[in-house]
Amino acid sequence: METQNAGAKIAGRRRALTTERPWLAPVGIGLLAFCAAFVGSWVPSFWDDEIATISAAGRSPAELLLLLQSVDAVHGIYYFLMHLWTAVFGFSEVALRFPSALAVGAAAGLTVVLGRRLGSAPLGVAAGLVLALLPRMVWAGTESRQSALTTVLAVLLTLLLLRAWESNRPLDWVLYSLCAVVGVGVFMFFALAIVAHAVAAVVLRRRIVATLAAGAVAGVAALPFLVFALGQKAQVEWIQNRSLTEHLVTAVVKQYFYGDDRPTGNLPPQWVLAFVVVLGLLQGALVVRGVWAARLDAQLRQAMVLGLAGVLVPVGGLLLASLITQPVYVARYLTFTAPAFALLVGMGLISLPQRRVGFRFLVAGLVLCSLVPQLTLKSLVNEPPDTERRIAALVDQEPERPAAVVFGAPYLRDMVLAYPDDFAGIADLSLAASPATSGSLWGVDAPVAPDQLTGKGEVLFVGTGGGTPGDTSAFGAAGCRETGNQPFQRLVLISFDCP
């Protein structure tokens, strides 16, 4: 009897906290998500997409507009925001990644509110906790790109949709359309979130005409931007052309349970992959459990439909586009679907008997399996030897510090943009036009003539990896002598003495 009374008192206190302090759970879980993303975010080196942010954000607005006319228009709004941010806080790893960690915290907090609106306070807490520790979100909070921002906008858009469904006021539909336009402007594939809402409205038979109309208005408003951005589709030609099976494997593993690697191709240790597999199996089973339970609960049906549509429509749409047109599926492009996935997992969690010991072990297992991948996502283990920071430090610490450097391809200059102090005083002989003046991310190169090398002394050639470093004929013509050759996975460093 005393145990039952104690349990009743604890439950009563929890209900009182939920009623009297409704902000407590969103704020607390938001802080947890921020910490999970931010702690250790300064450990990994900048990688190429982040260095694109550095290259763009460090320009004047006029120079940035020149860049967006030819490349990266899909990132334009984010670049302008980071231009303002870096003007105040600088370009360190902490400064550049801090906004993303904040956005992850905001997304998790809003997910708590969303779960509460769609089902109950326990659903909100469960979904928020899942999102806070999800490897996909940890990755998004540890890189200076707009993935985390699109996630915040996706949760906000869903909350605005629910508000409009309930009130049907014109103002609420206008707010929904405005948020949709902003989301597409931040990243064009956010349009798939609007399509997912339209599908959910049809399935649920909730304000179908109004939902379709609001989505159409947003689509028309964003159309000029989408047409212009699609004109730059050559910038995604680097995405590998995979088979359907390979695409599905990537989607199943990397979309939520791991994140990405720095650099691409650096696979984590097998013991880390084991935790990733267990996490995927556990959360996949919880999704199935949640969907099964929701079929018998009218209150959760709306959450189930929005969750399934929020995951399946964007992921399926991008996979289909990759198979029919050109490869465009990259897991981080669909980070904004993570809250919908967390909602489905949360539904499975709250459907289980929560007073049993097995439930506690399950939660502990989910937390552990979610935290372990952070070791590689944040380069605490298995850091590649050829990250931009390591190569830049290697160049700076050479016993014979080079007087000049020649890059075999413009994109190899990313290390100079990310860590300019390590290249202070080293002349870039291959640079014909700077990134800012050329309206490009990495600058424009020109062939190096032998007379540019004569008398330079120690000159470093940075070539591409894989056995074909690039054209070094000018060094031979200038009478330079090769003094060192350090091959890495993605590049090679060749030292020359040019008398």
Query: pLDDT tens digit string along 91-142?
Result: 999 999 999 999 999 999 999 999 999 989 999 999 999 999 999 999 999 9
How far is the C-alpha of 18 from the C-alpha of 219, rounded, in Å?
A: 38
Predicted local distance difference test score (pLDDT) of residue 303: 96
354 and 410 together in one domain: no
Tally Cβ neighbours within 10 Å of residue 266. 18
Domain ranges, residue 114: 22-377
Give yes or no for residue 1 having a pLDDT over 70: no
Residue 121 resides in a domain: yes
358 and 394 together in one domain: no
132 and 263 together in one domain: yes
The helix, strand and coil proportions of the chain, stated in percent and rounded to the nearest 5, come to 70, 5, 25
53 and 177 together in one domain: yes
Give yes or no for residue 233 having a pLDDT over 90: no
How far is the C-alpha of 40 from the C-alpha of 32, rounded, in Å?
A: 14
Predicted local distance difference test score (pLDDT) of residue 7: 47
Tally Cβ neighbours within 10 Å of residue 63. 18
Tokens of 323: 């198979």
Q: Are the C-beta atoms of 173 and 180 separated by less than 8 Å?
A: no
| Percentage of the chain modeled with pLDDT above 90 | 77
Count of structural domains within the chain: 2
158 and 219 together in one domain: yes
Tokens of 58: 């460090």
355 and 404 together in one domain: no
How far is the C-alpha of 86 from the C-alpha of 73, rounded, in Å?
A: 19
b/e map 355-374, b = 16+ CB within 10 Å = eeeeeeebeeebeebbebbb
Tally Cβ neighbours within 10 Å of residue 231. 10
Q: What stretches of 28-110 adopt beta strand conformation (E)?
A: none
370 and 437 together in one domain: no
Predicted local distance difference test score (pLDDT) of residue 10: 47
* Contacts for 447 with CB less than 8 Å, ≥ 6 apart: 430, 471, 474
Tally Cβ neighbours within 10 Å of residue 242. 16
SS3 at position 398:
coil
Predicted local distance difference test score (pLDDT) of residue 298: 80
Nearest to 192 by CA among 351, 286, 322, 96: 322
Residue 6 resides in a domain: no
Q: Is 466 left (phi over 0), alpha (psi -120 to 50) or beta?
A: left
Residues 443, 456, 408: CA angle, nearest 5 degrees: 35
Residue 78 resides in a domain: yes
283 and 415 together in one domain: no
Query: pLDDT tens digit string along 360-371?
Result: 899 999 999 999
Give yes or no for residue 212 having a pLDDT over 60: yes
Higher pLDDT, 15 or 281: 281
Nearest to 53 by CA among 99, 108, 105, 104: 99
Q: Residue 72: in which H helix or E strand, if any? A: none
Tokens of 251: 């989607």
Query: pLDDT tens digit string along 294-336?
Result: 988 888 999 999 999 999 999 999 999 998 888 889 999 999 9
Predicted local distance difference test score (pLDDT) of residue 216: 97
CA dihedral sign, ordered 119, 121, 124, 129: negative
145 and 111 together in one domain: yes
392 and 367 together in one domain: no
Peptide bond just before 447 cis, omega within 30 deg: no
443 and 347 together in one domain: no
Give yes or no for residue 444 having a pLDDT over 60: yes
Tally Cβ neighbours within 10 Å of residue 27. 14
Query: pLDDT tens digit string along 428-441?
Result: 999 999 999 999 99
Residue 17 resides in a domain: no
Tokens of 237: 């030609």
Nearest to 126 by CA among 332, 314, 354: 354
Give yes or no for residue 6 having a pLDDT over 50: no
412 and 471 together in one domain: yes
Predicted local distance difference test score (pLDDT) of residue 13: 52
